[in-house]
């Protein structure tokens, strides 16, 4: 239904749950804009209209980064940051020359909401959607995952709405099962997702991926607590060696909730956010009735593909969910199809460089 292209690898953040900065590094490396454009044009020529910019972080340089370098008088770092930022704007200026029906989307940090010039450039470049890692709606939760550069509460909702105000649809990503979570966190998250006018959202449970800070902390806690439990002779910390049906659904004991409660409440948020009533309310992001019906279809497809947490993880429910996903995907495929454009030319090189930083 869509293709993918990577424009930058590496993320300067260090979120405790994330494996990206451990595997891909914290130093962003950007591909040549000419190579990226050539690849995207080739995909459009063969009929791909929707293209994911599958980047670790499409916004590798924040305004705060630049301000800090200026305050520190670090001219070398400042020049490096401005060059990276300038390359982003140059890429987006060239993407803007693609056919008007092109739809691009990417992954980005919430800090981009502080940068209206960047958001406007994204919209002009046909980057109409972005996955934003919200993770938690509380200050305590954000601190627990080393992501306290995000906002919480009403400030969080306001910042997320900023994307929508600039024409960027947000897929918000939330994590449940953090040590700071309580029973009321689930309802608060569902309410925030609605108030922030998220177009889509996903709600996942904390998973300790190998190489992450959380994995190392989890493994040490188990060893210190009397040894690593085993399932069928396999240490639980090597869960990827276990068949799917034998893997735990949650990994660490929670101080106030059982694993079953966390799973059930997580599934409840999925059900609430993707109820027909809530989807139809969010369908106001498009205008025509045909577009609204397409939005409902895609929303149901997304839920069928990814809402596999909580009570939906037993084999019967997963089999049913897979059938639903195939049904919705078959129906939605035509919405993503684009007409092959074999004669499409590559956008030319812009004559004048863009300003490095716009206030």
DSSP string, 119-168: HHHHHHTTEEEEEEEEE-SSHHHHHHTT-TTS--HHHHHHHHHHHHHTT-
pTM of the model: 0.85
pLDDT band at 250 (very low <50, low <70, confident <90, very high): confident
- pLDDT score, position 321: 60
- pLDDT score, position 283: 94
Average pLDDT value for residue range 112-135: 95
Q: Assess whether pLDDT exceeds 50 at residue 349.
A: no
Class of domain 1-103: alpha beta
Q: Assess whether pLDDT exceeds 70 at residue 359.
A: no
Q: Give SS3 for 169.
A: strand
- pLDDT score, position 337: 81
Return the domain boundaries, the chain. 1-103
- pLDDT score, position 317: 55
Between CA 81 and CA 85 the distance in angstroms is: 6
- Which tens digits make up the pLDDT trace of 292-327? 998 999 998 888 888 765 433 445 455 666 677 777
Average pLDDT value for residue range 129-150: 76
Weakest mean pLDDT among 14-18, 83-87, 129-133, 170-174: 14-18
- pLDDT score, position 136: 82
pLDDT band at 37 (very low <50, low <70, confident <90, very high): very high
CB 171 within 8 A of CB 129: yes
pLDDT band at 152 (very low <50, low <70, confident <90, very high): low
- pLDDT score, position 336: 83
CB 177 within 8 A of CB 212: no
Between CA 358 and CA 68 the distance in angstroms is: 16
Q: Assess whether pLDDT exceeds 60 at residue 260.
A: yes
- pLDDT score, position 219: 92
- pLDDT score, position 139: 76
- Greater confidence (139 vs 156) lies with 156
- Greater confidence (224 vs 351) lies with 224
Q: Which helix (H) or strand (E) holds 258?
A: none
- Greater confidence (255 vs 119) lies with 119
Q: Assess whether pLDDT exceeds 90 at residue 123.
A: yes
Neighbours of 82 (CB within 10 A): 15
């Amino acid at each position: 239904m869509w293709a993918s292209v990577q424009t930058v690898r590496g993320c300067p953040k260090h979120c405790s749950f994330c494996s990206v900065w451990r595997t891909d590094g914290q130093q962003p490396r950007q591909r040549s804009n000419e190579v990226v454009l050539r690849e995207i044009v080739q995909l459009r020529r063969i009929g791909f209209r929707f293209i994911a910019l599958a980047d670790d972080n499409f916004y590798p340089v924040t305004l705060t980064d630049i301000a800090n370098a200026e305050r520190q008088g670090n001219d070398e770092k400042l020049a490096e940051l401005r060059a990276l930022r300038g390359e982003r704007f140059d890429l987006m200026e060239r993407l803007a020359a693609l056919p008007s029906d092109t739809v691009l989307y990417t992954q980005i940090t919430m800090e981009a909401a502080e940068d209206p010039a960047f958001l406007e450039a994204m919209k002009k470049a046909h980057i109409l959607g972005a996955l934003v890692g919200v993770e938690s709606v509380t200050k305590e939760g954000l601190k627990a995952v080393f992501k306290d550069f995000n906002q919480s509460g009403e400030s969080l909702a306001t910042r997320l709405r900023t994307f929508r105000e600039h024409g960027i649809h947000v897929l918000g990503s939330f994590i449940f099962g953090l040590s700071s979570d309580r029973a009321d966190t689930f309802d608060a998250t569902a309410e925030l997702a609605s108030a922030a006018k998220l177009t889509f959202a996903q709600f996942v449970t904390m998973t300790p991926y190998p190489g992450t800070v959380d994995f190392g902390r989890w493994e040490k806690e188990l060893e210190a607590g009397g040894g690593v439990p085993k399932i069928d002779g396999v240490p639980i910390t090597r869960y990827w060696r276990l068949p799917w049906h034998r893997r735990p659904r949650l990994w660490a004991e929670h101080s106030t909730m059982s694993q079953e409660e966390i799973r059930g409440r997580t599934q409840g948020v999925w059900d609430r956010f993707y109820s027909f009533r809530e989807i139809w309310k969010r369908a106001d992001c498009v205008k025509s009735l045909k577009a609204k019906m397409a939005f409902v279809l895609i929303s149901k497809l997304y839920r069928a593909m990814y809402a596999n947490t909580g009570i939906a993880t037993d084999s019967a429910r997963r089999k049913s969910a897979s059938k639903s996903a195939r049904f919705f995907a078959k129906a939605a495929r035509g919405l993503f199809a684009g007409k092959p454009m074999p004669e499409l030319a590559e956008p030319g090189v812009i004559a004048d460089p863009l300003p490095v930083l716009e206030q």
